[in-house]
Structure 1
C-alpha cells in the first residue's frame, strides 16, 4: 500500500505494500530516506481552506481508499467524501498545485475509536485534557520516497500545539506498526478489527514525537531570528557540561577568560556579566546614569530606542528624546545641535536598531560626545558580534550572550569605560543585583552564575578571534536581501544604513505578516513576526545570525518565494521618504 491506513477510513483496509518503504523478507518495511530521492521543489504544508483544496482531498481519498485499497465502491466522479468531512480539518502537503499527501484530524466525540473500544481512555498511560483523532493519512505514490510523510507529522505536531491538544489517537494497521513508531506513535489497549485486518490503537504526544526517528530526521526549526540563533555544535556540547560552582577556581578562570575576550573584541576597558537578558543590562546602565547625574538625551529611531526611554522614565532620569522616523538613520545634525546647547550630561542610543534593520553610526555619536563633554551610553545588545564594534570612548554599553555572539540566552553584559561611582546615598538607592560597582568590588562575581551558560559563551567567543564571523553574517545578509527584493518585497532600511545582519520587510497590506510568518514556521523556518510592534506594522524580519548553513538559507528563500507568489503578492512598493528630525520631547 502507499497510503497509511488509519482510523475509520481504513477499517477494511487490505495492505498492498509499503509505498514509501521497501519490503523486507520478514514482511516488515524499511524506511528509505536517501536525500537524492527527495522531491526537488519545496513542499508547502497547509490546512485545507478552499473548495479546490477539498476537491483535491476527495480525489486523493478516492485513489487511495477506492482504487488502491478497495474499501469503497467506485464512482464515475472518482471522488470519495469522508463521512466526517464537515467536521474534519485536513492537513495538506502541497507541491505547487498538486496534493502530495494529507491527513485528517477531528476533535468531536464520538471518535471512531469509541465504537471499537468502550471508554478507551482508561487504557491510555496519561489522561489528555484535549485530544484529536487522526485518520485518512495518504501520500501520493510519486512522493513516497520523499520526506512528505515526516513533514506531515511535523505539521501535525505544530497543529496540535497551536490548538492546545495534548494527544492524538489513531487506529494503525498492524502491518505498519514499526512505521508508526518511527513517526512517534505509541500503542495502547488491545488490537481491534478482524482476521486479516487488525488494528492497533496508538497515541501521539509532544514527548513521543520528539523522541521519534521522524523528529530526529526532520530536525529542529532553522532559526532566522535575532535570538535565539542557530548555535554551533561545539557551543551545544559546552552547554551540556558538568555544572561548576561559581566560587571554584575553574569557574573563575573561565569567567576571567570570557571577560578578556569580550573586551578584546569590543575595545572596552572592562565588562561585567549578569544572569539575565538585555533588558537587565540596560537597567544596570540606567542605574549608572542615575548615579552619574545630569540631564540626558535619548535617541529614538526604532522600537528599541523607544524602550530606552521606558528605562529612563522608570529610573526617574531627567531626559529629552530626539526622534527620527522608524527605518531611517538618526538625524546626526539634530543630535549635534541638541548637544551644542550645553544642557545634556549624557547621551543614550541604540547601535543596531534591530526593529527596523538600521545600523546607527556609533563613531558619529562618540565624536559628538567628545566635542561636548557628554557621557555616552550604548545599547549594543544586537550589534555585538554582528558587526565590528569599537566601544572605546563609550562610558557604558549593554550586550548579551544569546544573539550575534552565537551562544545561549541567559547572560548579559555591562561594558564600561569609566570606574563605577561609589557614593553613599546614590549607591544605596540602586538595586543590589544591578549595581555595577558591586561587580567591580567582587572581581566580577558577587552572586551566583551559571557555569553552563558561561562555558557555552566561552566556546562561541573562540570564533571571534578573527573577523570571519562578521564577513559570514554580512554575506548571508546580502544573499537574503537580494532575494527578498527580487520577490518584489520592500526592505525597510536603506542599503547605506542597513544593519547587515537583520532585514525588516515592510509587507504590502494584502499580505499578513502573522499569516506569512506562521506559514514559514509550519515549514520549519522561524522568522520574526510575533512581536507586537511587528504585527502592528505588518513587518516580517529575517536575521542572518548564528550557525546558519547556506542550504538552509536557500531552502528558506525558496519557500518564502513560493508563498509570496502563490498568495499573489509580487509587487514593488515605493521607498520611504527621507526622514528629518522630529520634535525634541521633554521627559522628567
Structure 2
C-alpha cells in the first residue's frame, strides 16, 4: 500500500467527525440506506459500542470500518433467527460500515484496512466474523474468504447477503481477510467453577509421576520446598499440608481454638461464614456469631462491639473471600481491630489464596487448598500457622486434627499422596503472583462489563469483589438450574448446583484456573442468546 496512507484505530475527535461524514456519503448518498439530512452527517446508532478503524491520507479519512461484538447485531434486525444459521460455540463479532472513497476501492487498500482491524479482533478473542455484504459486491467478499448464509435481506434500493468467515475458513483461504488464529481448544469443557480447575500440562505431568512413600528423602524435599513456597506466597511463618478439603483445614483450626479456650467471635456474611459458625458449634466453642446479609460488607463497629463484649473476646474467625458471593472482606480493618484488642485472628483463605494477594502477617491460623487459585488438583488442604501451637496430648482431639503433630514431627506424620504434593509443587513453580493477580483482575473486570451488558449484574460490586468469583442473580422468571444445565450441555462448567445457589436462583462464573478470553466471549454470547430466547423459563 502507498506509504502516504496510514491505517489505524480511530481515537481522535477529528477522525470520528470525518467517520460520520463518510458514513453519510456512503450509506445515504451512494447506498440509499438512510434518509438525507441538512448536516450531511450520519452517526451510527451503535457508535458508542463500535471500534473504528480508518485509512488516513494525511488528515483525511478515506476509508473506514467498524467492529462490534455486542448483541443484538444489526444483522439480527435484518435476518430472523440469526443464530440458527451460525456455528455453535463461537466468539462472534460483526463487521460493519465498510467504506472507501471512490478511486481507492481496490483489493490492496481493502485488505490492509481489514488486516489491521484483525489484530484488534484477535486481541479481543473473536473467532468468527459476520457481515451484511452489499449484494453487488458478493463476489469480492467471496474472494476475501466470506461464505454466504441465509436469504438476501434489505430492500430494493439496498440489498445485502449475510456472510461469515470462521477460523477454519481462514486456514483454507490464501489471503484471508482476517488473520485470526484458530481457537486454542478443541471445544472441550471450560472450567468456570470454584474448583476443580483446569491444570497446566506441567502440573498434569508432575501428577502422573510414579508415586513414592512419604518417608523417602526425595518426597520430604519436595514437601519442604512446597511448604516454603506457600509461606512466601502468603507471607506466613509455617504451614502444614493435609490430605483433605478446606473443611478439614478449618476443622484443624477449630481444634486449636478448642484447645486455647476463651470466648470468640465468628463472622458470617455468606455460606462459608455460616459453615464456620457451624464448625464452631460442632467443636463446642464459646463464641458469638456476628452476621451480615449475604453479599453485604461487615460493619467494623459491630465487630468491635462483639469483641469488646462483655465478656471480651480472645479470638476471631472469619472468611477472607466469601466464595458464595465473591465478597472480599476487609481483612486489614479486621487485623487492626484484633491488634487493638489483643485478639487472636484466624482466617479462611480457601478462595483468596492464589487469586488475590494474601498477607498472613498478624494472623494466627489460616486455611487454604490446592485445587482452586493455586492451579493444582483438589485433594490437599493446608493450615498456615505461627507459634505457639498447643498439643492435644492427653485430650480428646482426634490425632489427624492435632496441628502439633505436623509441627513437632521431623517427618510428615501421616500418609500423604506424593502425586498431589508433586503437582502442587509444580503449580507453585509456575505461579507468578503479580502476573497472575493482574490477569485475573483484568479478565474479571472485562467479564463483569460484558455480563452487565447482557443483563447479568454480579451480586457484589467491583470494589469489594474478588474478580475471580462472580456470583450472578439470574433474572426472573428464568431458572438458574435450567440455565446452568444448558450451559453445561454446551461445555461451560459454571457453578450452580450447590444448595445455597439453587435456593437463591444464582449461578457463579469463576476464574480460578486458566481461562482464555475467547472462551469467555463465547460464554457471554451464549448467555445472551439463552436469555433472549427465554431458555430456562420457569413453568
TM-score of the alignment, normalized to the shorter chain, above 0.5? yes
Query: Can you list the C-alpha shifts for 1:438-459, whole angstroms capped at 9, x where unaligned?
Result: 1111136101101111111011
Contact in 1 for aligned 2:194/2:372 (Cα 8 Å): yes
Indicate yes or no: 2:517 matched with 1:530.
Answer: no
Contact in 2 for aligned 1:420/1:437 (Cα 8 Å): yes
In the alignment, which of 504, 507, 511 is matched to residue 540 of structure 1? 507
- Residues in 2 aligned to 1:347 and 1:459: alpha-carbon distance in whole angstroms: 34
Task: Provide closer, same or farther for how the CA distance between residues 95 and 239 of structure 1 changes in structure 2, counting only shifts above 3 A.
Answer: farther
Partner of 1:506: 473
- Residues in 1 aligned to 2:87 and 2:326: alpha-carbon distance in whole angstroms: 38
Contact in 2 for aligned 1:273/1:444 (Cα 8 Å): no
- Residues in 2 aligned to 1:458 and 1:259: alpha-carbon distance in whole angstroms: 9
Q: What residue ranges of structure 1 are gaps of 5+ in the alignment?
A: 1-40, 43-93, 102-140, 149-215, 571-588
Mapping of residues 350-499 of structure 1, within 5 Å: 350-422=319-391, 424-425=393-394, 428-443=395-410, 445-499=412-466
Q: Secondary structure at the match of 2:239?
A: strand
- Residues in 2 aligned to 1:444 and 1:296: alpha-carbon distance in whole angstroms: 33
Partner of 2:524: 557
In the alignment, which of 241, 244, 266 is matched to residue 273 of structure 1? 241
Please report the TM-score for the alignment, with normalisation by the length of structure 2: 0.65
- Residues in 1 aligned to 2:451 and 2:525: alpha-carbon distance in whole angstroms: 10
Query: Shift in Å at residue 100 of structure 1?
Result: 7.8
Contact in 2 for aligned 1:272/1:444 (Cα 8 Å): no
- Residues in 2 aligned to 1:414 and 1:464: alpha-carbon distance in whole angstroms: 20
Mapping of residues 208-357 of structure 1, within 5 Å: 218-341=186-309, 343-357=312-326
- Residues in 2 aligned to 1:365 and 1:295: alpha-carbon distance in whole angstroms: 17
Q: Secondary structure at the match of 1:438?
A: helix
Please report the TM-score for the alignment, with normalisation by the length of structure 1: 0.60
Contact in 2 for aligned 1:529/1:535 (Cα 8 Å): yes
Task: Provide closer, same or farther for how the CA distance between residues 448 and 383 of structure 1 changes in structure 2, counting only shifts above 3 A.
Answer: same
Contact in 2 for aligned 1:272/1:414 (Cα 8 Å): yes
- Residues in 2 aligned to 1:492 and 1:217: alpha-carbon distance in whole angstroms: 30
Aligned residues: 372
Contact in 2 for aligned 1:392/1:417 (Cα 8 Å): no
Query: Shift in Å at residue 547 of structure 1?
Result: 1.5
Partner of 1:96: 83
Task: Provide closer, same or farther for how the CA distance between residues 343 and 547 of structure 1 changes in structure 2, counting only shifts above 3 A.
Answer: same
Q: What residue ranges of structure 2 are gaps of 5+ in the alignment?
A: 1-68, 71-80, 89-148, 151-162, 169-183
The 10-residue stretch of structure 1 (309-318 or 487-496) with the greater mean CA deviation from structure 2: 487-496
Task: Provide closer, same or farther for how the CA distance between residues 476 and 443 of structure 1 changes in structure 2, counting only shifts above 3 A.
Answer: farther
Mapping of residues 167-186 of structure 1, within 5 Å: none
Query: Shift in Å at residue 509 of structure 1?
Result: 2.2
- Residues in 2 aligned to 1:381 and 1:446: alpha-carbon distance in whole angstroms: 23
- Residues in 2 aligned to 1:391 and 1:443: alpha-carbon distance in whole angstroms: 24
Query: Can you list the C-alpha shifts for 1:107-141, whole angstroms capped at 9, x where unaligned?
Result: xxxxxxxxxxxxxxxxxxxxxxxxxxxxxxxxxx9
The 10-residue stretch of structure 1 (443-452 or 267-276) with the greater mean CA deviation from structure 2: 443-452
Query: Shift in Å at residue 95 of structure 1?
Result: 6.6
The 10-residue stretch of structure 1 (487-496 or 344-353) with the greater mean CA deviation from structure 2: 487-496
Query: Can you list the C-alpha shifts for 1:313-343, whole angstroms capped at 9, x where unaligned?
Result: 1111111101111111112121122223352
Contact in 1 for aligned 2:483/2:536 (Cα 8 Å): no
Query: Shift in Å at residue 552 of structure 1?
Result: 1.5
- Residues in 1 aligned to 2:430 and 2:529: alpha-carbon distance in whole angstroms: 35
Partner of 1:519: 486
- Residues in 1 aligned to 2:294 and 2:433: alpha-carbon distance in whole angstroms: 33
Mapping of residues 137-216 of structure 1, within 5 Å: none
Q: Secondary structure at the match of 2:431?
A: helix
Query: Can you list the C-alpha shifts for 1:538-559, whole angstroms capped at 9, x where unaligned?
Result: 0011011212122222222221
- Residues in 2 aligned to 1:225 and 1:423: alpha-carbon distance in whole angstroms: 37
